[in-house]
Amino acid sequence: MSPLEIKVYEAGDSTVWIPVSSRSPAKEARALLPFAGLTGLYNHGFKAAPESSTFFKALASVQSAYLRKEKKTFKVEKGLESQRRDAWRHGQSSSSSLSPTLGWVEIPIRQLMDMSQEELASELERSEDRLVSSTRIQKDPEGSMFRQAVREERTFQLEFRTRALDVWEAKCALSGATCMLEAAHIKGVAACKSDLIAEAKDPFNSIILNVALHALLDAGLISFTDDGTLLVSENINTHDRTVYGLEQPRKVRFHIKALPYIQYHRNHVFMSSS
């Protein structure tokens, strides 16, 4: 049994797990890679109830559904059919629905755009295992130092998430949802320089959000005033405001220690009209 474990992607991760399906009848490799770019839309989810998201959101959804073993029975033309949610369509809506039947490959996030489907499929086939760490990681010039950094980063993320869930009572600060939650940094980890690493670990630099709202925060499409009132960028149209539940005024009760992080995000990340 492989000692590796799939991790749901979060912004700031050094590596990312990519699902790989079995080869097509024509022996073509098939994997969920950003063939439409990171901001393009990807079809994923149940075949009978498809979703459409940008790459990282679609990938995180497939990863989470796989780990949760999410299935649902739908009434289709031929009768009842059990479907997996950890599926994606390889192109347009008419394309085949794929699942990670061959396995998963962990790759360096900085090499995501350079990976090919054939390379990922071949790595799994050579290993005869369902979870594989790419040779691109194993052959990294920093060697074991890189692997150690990845392990330390994951430990840091787990500790931060645990403390954040405690501060926010394990529910989304905006929607109140209690599932599909992520611990978001208000001031991003990349902005917390080495001499300010305590900021990256500070639970008051956190906010618990569902997957979609976390992505909006990281993208600077939402932010907050000093008193916690939600700010929504004019770059989000009326339709999407309704989809994400942002059409009504909302207010979050932040701890006073969160104020410097809120101000940083609003002044340096948020895409305001001014």
For 54-72, the pLDDT digits (tens) are: 999 999 999 999 999 999 9
The residue-averaged pLDDT of 195-210 equals 84
**Dihedral of alpha carbons 14, 40, 269, 259, sign:** negative
**pLDDT digits over 12-29, tens only?**
788 899 999 999 888 888
The residue-averaged pLDDT of 214-237 equals 93
**pLDDT digits over 115-147, tens only?**
889 999 999 999 889 999 988 876 554 444 445
29 close to 122: Cβ distance less than 8 angstroms: yes
Residue 152: per-residue pLDDT: 54
Residue corresponding to tokens 């499929």 = 121
Return the closest-CA partner of residue 230 out of 254, 203, 212.
254
Residues in a beta bridge with 222 = 232
The residue-averaged pLDDT of 222-234 equals 95
Among 56-70, 84-98, 219-233, 256-270, name the one with the lowest average pLDDT: 84-98
173 close to 209: Cβ distance less than 8 angstroms: yes
Q: At CA 10, angle to CA 217 and CA 210, rounded to 5?
A: 50
Residue 143: per-residue pLDDT: 46
What phi-psi label fits residue 145: left (phi over 0), alpha (psi between -120 and 50 degrees) or beta?
alpha
Residue 177: per-residue pLDDT: 87
Share of the chain above pLDDT 90, in %: 50
Return the closest-CA partner of residue 32 out of 5, 1, 9.
9
Contacts of 160 (CB under 8 A, 6+ apart): 183, 185, 200, 201, 203, 206
Residues in a beta bridge with 4 = none
191 close to 233: Cβ distance less than 8 angstroms: no
88 close to 41: Cβ distance less than 8 angstroms: no
137 token code pair: 């990681």
pLDDT at 92 over 60: no
pLDDT at 36 over 60: yes
Residue 146: per-residue pLDDT: 45
Residue corresponding to tokens 């809120």 = 262
Q: Measured between alpha carbons, how far is 136 from 4 in angstroms, rounded to an integer?
A: 16
The residue-averaged pLDDT of 255-262 equals 96
